[in-house]
Amino acid sequence: MPHRFKAILFDLDGTVIDSAGDLQATMNVILAQENRRPVSLDEMKGCTGDGLQAMLDKAMRLTGTPADATAIAQFMPRFLSVYEGVVAKPECIYPDMLNFIRSEHSVGTKLAIVTNKHEAAAKRILQQLELANYFDLILGGDSLAERKPHPLPILHTLRHLAVAQDDAVMIGDSPNDLLAAHGAGIPSIILRYGYQLDWPVDLQPSAFANHVQECRVALQLI
């Protein structure tokens, strides 16, 4: 059964792909260089979602003395340099997500990635996974003056796609995705398999979904 939406906006990490392992491995290289302990996979998941600067800041706080803004700025290019050498593997795509993206693309739904990951990293990973060509726009956390939870990335994406707010939906896994969607005036579906372990009780999306099949159903109901 078809849904009413002309455009679907996706978060990337924790929604389309599970990148926590690759991020953890990269972060632990940087931490080792700084004589700090490694972060666990669950700790890494808790560090993601707010962009690279915040991710590094959280990892430093977890593993010792917090790093100041100057140090974090120096860590960022080092992290990106290590991360650039990581090749994403097809199995990092969440189950049934590839079929979902392909089916929506085949019927003419406009698709976009709206992530807080650096744009170049997002594009590289999507190209490695042979997903990039399905998306009309890939927008990163460094693409604009603001990132999620600010609504600007979603509003920019809607203008680029020439789609009205009533005709678009955001699919993500974090409060940032919901808040950005709400601020932009579009509904949101939150996938519960992502990196947000404890969902804030005061934040309610248009629908929750435990897996992609439930997401398909939610699109028909909201």
Strand partners, 114: 139
11 an active-site residue? yes
Strands in 134-192 per DSSP E: 137-139, 168-172, 188-191
Buried b (16+ CB within 10 A) or exposed e, 171-202: bbbbbbbbbbbbebebbbbbbeebbbeebeee
Residue environment code for 129-148, b if the CB has 16+ CB neighbours within 10 A, otherwise e: bebeebbbbbbbbbbeeebb
CA distance 41 to 131: 25
d(CA 93, CA 187): 24
Catalytic residue among 11, 13, 22, 57: 11
- Catalytic site residues? 11
